[in-house]
């Protein structure tokens, strides 16, 4: 009889414990939303100066007043207040300078998207101006499908919608040229 009573008490305690656990597991909608909401982490840096090398040779130097590195579905670095980058050749001489008001580097794709007053100048003085520009880190090519203007020293000014160019502007393919202006030897239109 004693063991029968102990079994009933044990069964009652087990039922009581189970009901307490279920009652105490109830969470408010706010608590559930807080636990399950998507969190995007972000790092911030100011006065950024970054040097990039490959096989021990410096390839680029980046300067930006502000940088945000965002960890979401796609990891990217955003430069919201301007960006300047010097690209170096194999003998560590500057071959190209790049300036723009904003840029984003997408790490997973090794691509940089630059926009708002993009300006690229090579060591010969050839100049590329455009609204936005993609740079592929692997192929070292610039690309845009928007309006762009290219001016080569002692060459012509070419307006185009879309182009692909090497990083040093030595080779440029204009996708849809929209105009050409002859330029005198001093670099000004005739």
Token match 């390839």: residue? 59
- Which residue ranges form the domains of the chain, and what is each CATH number? 36-181 (2.60.450.10)
Give me the pLDDT at residue 160, please. Answer: 83
CB 130, CB 155: distance < 8 Å: no
pLDDT tens digits, one per residue of 103-157 = 999 988 999 999 999 999 999 999 999 999 999 988 999 999 999 988 887 776 7
Radius of gyration of the chain (CA): 30
pLDDT tens digits, one per residue of 36-88 = 777 778 899 999 999 988 888 888 999 999 999 999 888 999 999 999 999 99
CB 149, CB 159: distance < 8 Å: yes
Give me the pLDDT at residue 27, please. Answer: 67
> DSSP class of residue 56?
T
């Amino acid at each position: 009889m004693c063991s029968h009573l102990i079994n009933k008490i044990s069964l009652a305690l087990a039922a009581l414990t189970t009901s307490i656990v279920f009652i105490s597991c109830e969470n408010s909608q706010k608590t559930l939303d807080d636990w399950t909401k998507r969190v995007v982490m972000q790092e911030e840096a100011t006065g950024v100066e970054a040097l990039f090398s490959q096989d021990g040779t410096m390839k680029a130097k980046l300067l930006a007043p502000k940088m945000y590195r965002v960890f979401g579905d796609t990891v990217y670095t955003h430069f919201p207040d301007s960006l300047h980058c010097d690209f170096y050749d194999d003998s560590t001489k500057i071959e190209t300078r790049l300036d723009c008001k904003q840029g984003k580097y997408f790490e997973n794709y090794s691509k940089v998207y630059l926009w708002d007053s993009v300006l690229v100048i090579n060591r010969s003085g050839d100049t590329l101006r455009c609204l936005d520009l993609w740079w592929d880190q692997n192929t070292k090519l610039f690309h845009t499908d928007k309006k762009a203007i290219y001016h080569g020293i002692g060459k012509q000014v070419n307006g185009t919608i879309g182009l692909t160019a090497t990083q040093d502007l030595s080779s440029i393919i204009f996708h849809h040229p929209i105009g050409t202006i002859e330029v005198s030897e001093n670099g000004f239109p005739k």
